[in-house]
Chain A
């Protein structure tokens, strides 16, 4: 199994109060799955995403990523796991404003161990090509549209060929046409073999995935294939995939 989560809990102290963000989550995600993690705000979906993305460690429980147990790693070890095994895509893109698309995509490689300049350029070019921006390599973020910015961010996430592509509300800042475009891109990457996890609160977004995990009060409320999840209902509509290619 690519991802194995066993009995994860996460507690925060907020002032004098202790908040139980996650209370006993068990989860398995296999290779080349296309998963949506859903839930209202406060459901614990962001916390789960942070733990899956190795940005945070659980208070209790085990997290195995690609055969390695990560829940007790040091911050430096976690940074290396993030660098090599995880590609993040954020709602607000998080591109460096003064760097070109190329330089933005290259960013993870400067933190990689022993990355050669040659292959770094080649890989960045290949990643931009994969998201369809081969002709925008020297543009800066302010010269790109919202959809293009998110494509650059996806290329950056793909640079080190991560085990999982983890997207947090990737279409939250995009209009509906661009949303479809980006979701189609995720679909395409999934078809190419990439494991994709999207955190969202929108059924329309979840409808593009194959499996929907719903969180409620820090527990998994449901974990169903898209066909059986309520979000699947929107799939019947002619909105998704076909419109854009």
Chain B
């Protein structure tokens, strides 16, 4: 058995070897440094992206579920024309009645109309038709006036909500409740102003002009066969799967879909998007790991090369060590430790460079990477991989050293 002081000495010796051949050692470790630095930077960027996306999902509510018409891919598309697959209000009512896992829902439809405030006229503004439950599903309340209520919806009243961007765009007074807008030639009373929330992901930029009218009113503005989607709120995130099956059951039954027929709609809980994103991040991580694997392999070959040089240069030293009692195992361990220490030094430099990259990435404006950081597991992983490279590629030179004949080694010039 090798003593503790042997290991201490071997590590000290390995470090002094690196210091004595600093330039050579760093060049050798370059493959490891580059590999570890790049994986650290990529992981930092992904970690930042993930945190950001997840926190946005959080902001927009993890309990949301989307229901929208969809034409199945597998069969000839003309078998399911858009006209037939679109959602119907009767279906919405059925979902509302027969899906206990769904707390509230709102159909949502969009239409483009001109909007006028006195002299100010905007063409083709996107108007959204919503039910009162929208305030809950979108997690958006009013900052002035009042939200929509069932009276607005049931009576399909000509009232509207808008956001701060719309106030500015239409040159309305800062407190516009009680004013009137002309939307598509009809007069609408402004009853409230909704808060603005922002998300770079998910396409939910609510900083542009928004005008909401009751869904029933929007339905009147369009003809009978119009498209809409449904946003629902699940009672709790754990019920996502149940809610999905309930909705599928109701819709398939109402549409009379046979067991062999595909869904003509999609039900997507937000956690599915999270799963998709996580899968994407995992995919990128695997690709990055592949790239890093290649550079670690190259780095490992460099390590093996320099260790062979080191064994050859220090043949006499090996002979001496053997003559004073170093067993083959001790010599093997010494050179193995030297390779591992060299790789770990390379790994440490790589982590530092990767960390610097992460800080640099976080400083890039509008890249969405301001939360880029190197997670602890990535550092642990980098060091483990470096050590593994040292072990694997240091093994051959170390075995070579351990097998040297002490007499030959001492005679070596």
Contacts and interface: CB of A to CB of B under 8 A. Distances in A.
A and B: interacting chains: yes
Interface of A: 50, 53, 55-56, 75-76, 79-80, 82-84, 88, 90, 94, 96, 98, 107-115, 117, 120, 156, 160
Given A55-B406, A98-B16, A112 B328 contact: no
Contacts of A83: 324-326
Given A82-B323, A98-B20, A156-B324, A111 B330 contact: yes
Contact of B325 (A56, A84, A117): A84
Nearest to A93: B320
Interface string B315-358: 01101111111111110000000000000000000000000000
B82 interface: no
Given A53-B323, A83-B324, A96-B317, A113 B3 contact: yes
A76 B322 CA distance: 10
A75 B3 contact: no
B407 interface: yes
B151 interface: no
A110 B3 contact: yes
Nearest to B411: A46
B6 interface: yes
A90 B324 contact: no
A111 B323 contact: no
B223 interface: no
B202 interface: no
Given A98-B16, A113-B3, A115-B3, A50 B407 contact: yes
Given A94-B316, A98-B16, A108 B325 contact: yes
24 contacts: A50-B407, A53-B323, A55-B322, A75-B328, A79-B322, A79-B325, A79-B327, A80-B327, A82-B324, A83-B325, A83-B326, A84-B325, A90-B320, A94-B323, A96-B317, A96-B320, A98-B16, A110-B5, A111-B326, A112-B3, A112-B325, A113-B3, A117-B5, A120-B5
B407 A115 contact: no
A82 B320 CA distance: 11
B1 interface: yes
Interface string B15-47: 010001000000000000000000000000000
Contacts of A98: 16, 20
B191 to A, nearest CB: 84
A98 B330 CA distance: 20
Interface residues of B, number: 24
Nearest to A117: B5
A111 B407 contact: no
Interface in B1-18: 1, 3, 5-6, 9, 16
Contact of A88 (B1, B9, B324, B329): B324
Nearest to A80: B325
Given A55-B323, A109-B5, A111-B324, 19 more contacts: A50-B407, A53-B323, A56-B407, A76-B327, A79-B322, A80-B325, A83-B325, A84-B325, A94-B319, A94-B410, A98-B16, A108-B325, A110-B9, A111-B327, A111-B330, A112-B325, A114-B3, A120-B5, A160-B325
Contacts of B323: 53, 55, 82, 88, 94
A79 B405 CA distance: 12
Contacts of A90: 320, 410
Contacts of A112: 3, 325
A94 B410 CA distance: 9
B407 A55 contact: yes
A81 to B, nearest CB: 8
A75 B317 CA distance: 18
Contacts of A114: 3
A152 to B, nearest CB: 13
Nearest to A159: B324
A143 to B, nearest CB: 17
A105 to B, nearest CB: 10
B184 to A, nearest CB: 88
Contacts of A88: 323-324
Closest 5 CB pairs of A and B: A83-B325, A108-B324, A79-B327, A111-B325, A94-B320
A198 to B, nearest CB: 16
Interface string B370-413: 00000000000000000000000000000000000011001000
Contacts of B407: 50, 55-56
A220 to B, nearest CB: 21
Nearest to B409: A55
Contacts of B317: 96
Contacts of B324: 82-83, 88, 107-108, 111, 156
A84 B322 CA distance: 13
A94 B330 CA distance: 19
Given A55-B406, A98-B16, A111 B6 contact: yes
Contacts of B316: 94
A133 B222 CA distance: 105
B9 to A, nearest CB: 5
A108 B325 CA distance: 6
